[in-house]
């Protein structure tokens, strides 16, 4: 008999019923909501005259549309303020827990779920945000949904969903100096393209992945959607259990032992079958940057922009030419943050590199902690001092310049080396030119003012 994949095990446990030649009714354990993709869903409930079916399984925070300075003051932008206020009112009316602005747990939804221990192995987790795949790092089936599906979950704690195909991505071997998990995922995306995993759920495995910290695993799973995947997950192991143990909402005492026992069963059976398998070697991976306008358009930092008929529009937007090297190119903005790279480990890495150094005068360097807890921890460890002495601005938690929605934007035509996840046209503001990279590459670039191979300065 064919074995089950990790994904099968978790998915199958959550199927309430199946429709012939149609989707499954999938039960959802945890539902995260934020201010941008939830208001229309709550209105839908009101129109139907129904409440939230299981309010304790939904957790709300404000992240996309919040400023990253002066969070104690009213939000200046009227529409943003109204949207955040609407979330507060909806949560009050429907009995949903809200970690809003000013709350000690507030932060980017995909940072706070894991750090509070809300995200756990074997769960189904959804949110009206495509980067929900982040939570897959814990062995959860986690994926982004639209607002109509947010309403489905609020109304019934279920979502109608077709079971995707399965893809295995294996990475083996020792990573080189200065190469981070962000480089791994940018490398994979450059190999299989921005649509290479559409219709699939990915399991990442191999010796390289197993050696990674939980923060690094989250960075990888986070960007599964950038290859079109429905989600990405990693089998839970000791690193997962160590990370979760003692966190606010993780099981405690006897419950912890019972939970851990069941989590230890979450792995792909040896004879489990995948629809697609990709294998990569860690030694082939170097620090990566993107040159184009989707995350699959990436290359080694010392590479040259490839020539391709598919690049023409992207290169025109980016102001680059095929055959050009980006190393040494002057940039004026460095953004360190987003649900991809704003966790405490990311801030520690950045601080370790910039300690005793100064950012280049031509660069504006912003560091946005992923949550209030990350911010607090950073201050506790003195990282704030190190960053500030190096000329980096440590701001307050939120999605910030990742998506050009709040006040933090990159001016038209200017380049930003960014630790976020998308380099689409206008993603960081109209006309902004985004170059995706790891936190170390971003920090090194801020120090020299030019796109820099971090291996040359460590």
Partner 1 sequence: MEPIKTIKSTCVPLPAENVDTDQIIPARFLKATTREGFGDNLFRDWRYSNNGDPVPGFVLNQPGVKGSILIAGKNFGCGSSREHAAWALYDHGFKVVVSSFFADIFSNNALNNGLLAVQLPEEYIQRLFIALDQNPSLEATVDLPTQQFSMEGIEEPASFEINKHKKSCLLQGFDDIDYLLSHKEQIKSYEATRTTV
- Nearest CA-CA partner of 374 in 355, 387, 389, 359: 387
Chain positions 185 to 214 lying near partner 1, rule: CB under 8 A, are 194-195, 198-199
Q: Is 144 in the site for partner 1 (CB under 8 A)?
A: yes
Q: How far apart are alpha carbons 107 and 341 in whole angstroms?
A: 13
Among 3, 12, 23, 95, binds partner 1 (CB under 8 A): 23
Q: Is 129 in the site for partner 1 (CB under 8 A)?
A: yes
Q: Which stretch binds partner 1 (CB under 8 A): 157-165, 167-175, 213-221, 439-447?
A: 157-165
Among 156, 172, 304, 377, binds partner 1 (CB under 8 A): 156
Q: Is 21 in the site for partner 1 (CB under 8 A)?
A: yes
Q: How far apart are alpha carbons 348 and 328 in whole angstroms?
A: 25
Chain positions 282 to 311 lying near partner 1, rule: CB under 8 A, are 294, 310
Contact 125, 393 (CB under 8 A): no
Contact 276, 15 (CB under 8 A): no
Site string for partner 1, 232-271 (x = CB under 8 A): -------------------x---x--xx------------
Chain positions 397 to 416 lying near partner 1, rule: CB under 8 A, are 403-405, 412
Helix (H) or strand (E) holding 243: helix 238-244
If you ran DSSP here, which 8-state letter would residue 3 be given? B
Long-range contacts of 310-318 (CB under 8 A, 24+ apart): 315/291, 317/293, 317/425, 317/433, 318/291, 318/292, 318/293, 318/433
Question: Binders of partner 1: how many residues, by CB under 8 A?
Answer: 73
Q: Which stretch binds partner 1 (CB under 8 A): 93-101, 140-148, 330-338, 375-383?
A: 140-148
Query: Is beta strand 30-33 parallel, antiparallel or unpaired with respect to 58-61?
Result: parallel
Q: Is 330 in the site for partner 1 (CB under 8 A)?
A: no
Complex with partner 1: residue 14 or 372, whichever CB lies closer: 14
Among 3, 12, 16, 284, binds partner 1 (CB under 8 A): 16
**Min. distance of Cβ 369 from partner 1 in angstroms?**
21
**Min. distance of Cβ 332 from partner 1 in angstroms?**
18
Complex with partner 1: residue 222 or 452, whichever CB lies closer: 222
Characterise 364 by phi-psi region: left (phi > 0), alpha (psi -120 to 50), beta (else).
beta
Q: How far apart are alpha carbons 100 and 78 in whole angstroms?
A: 17
Among 2, 20, 261, 271, binds partner 1 (CB under 8 A): 20
């Amino acid at each position: 008999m064919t074995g089950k994949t990790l994904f099968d095990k978790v998915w199958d446990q959550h199927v309430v019923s199946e429709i012939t030649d149609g989707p499954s009714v999938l039960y959802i354990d945890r539902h995260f909501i934020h201010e941008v993709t939830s208001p229309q869903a709550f209105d839908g409930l009101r129109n139907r005259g129904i409440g939230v079916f299981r309010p304790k399984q939904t957790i709300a925070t404000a992240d996309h549309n919040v400023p990253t300075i002066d969070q104690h003051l009213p939000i200046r932008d009227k529409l943003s303020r109204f949207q955040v206020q609407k979330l507060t009112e909806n949560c009050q009316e429907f009995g949903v827990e809200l970690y809003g602005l000013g709350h000690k747990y507030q932060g980017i939804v995909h940072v706070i779920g894991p750090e509070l221990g809300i995200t756990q192995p074997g769960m189904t987790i959804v949110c009206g945000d495509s980067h929900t795949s982040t939570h897959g790092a814990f062995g959860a089936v986690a994926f982004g949904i639209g607002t109509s599906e947010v309403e489905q979950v609020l109304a019934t704690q279920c979502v109608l969903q077709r079971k995707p195909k399965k893809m295995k991505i294996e990475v083996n071997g020792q990573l080189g100096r200065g190469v981070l998990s962000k480089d791994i995922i940018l490398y994979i995306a450059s190999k299989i393209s921005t649509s290479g995993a559409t219709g699939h759920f990915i399991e990442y495995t191999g010796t390289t992945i197993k050696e990674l910290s939980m923060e690094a695993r989250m960075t990888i799973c986070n960007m599964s959607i950038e290859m079109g995947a429905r989600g990405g997950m990693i089998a839970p192991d000791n690193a997962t259990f160590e990370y979760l143990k003692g966190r606010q909402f993780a099981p405690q005492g006897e419950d912890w032992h019972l939970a851990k026992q069941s989590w230890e069963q979450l792995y792909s059976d040896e004879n489990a079958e995948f629809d697609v398998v990709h294998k990569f070697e860690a030694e082939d991976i170097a620090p990566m940057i993107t040159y184009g306008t989707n995350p699959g358009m990436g290359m080694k930092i010392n590479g040259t922009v490839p020539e391709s008929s598919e690049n023409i529009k992207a290169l025109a937007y980016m102001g680059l030419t095929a055959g050009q090297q980006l190393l040494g190119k002057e940039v004026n903005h460095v953004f360190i943050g987003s649900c991809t790279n704003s966790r405490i480990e990311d801030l520690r890495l950045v601080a370790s590199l910039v300690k005793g150094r100064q950012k280049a005068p031509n660069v504006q360097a912003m560091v946005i902690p992923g949550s209030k807890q990350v911010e607090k921890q950073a201050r506790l460890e003195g990282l704030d001092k190190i960053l500030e002495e190096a000329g980096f601005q440590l701001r307050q938690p939120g999605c910030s310049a990742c998506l050009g929605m709040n006040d933090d934007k990159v001016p038209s035509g200017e380049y930003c080396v960014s630790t976020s996840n998308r380099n689409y046209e206008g993603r960081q503001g109209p006309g902004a030119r985004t170059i995706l990279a790891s936190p170390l590459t971003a920090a090194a670039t801020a120090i020299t003012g030019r796109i820099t191979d971090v291996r040359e300065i460590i």
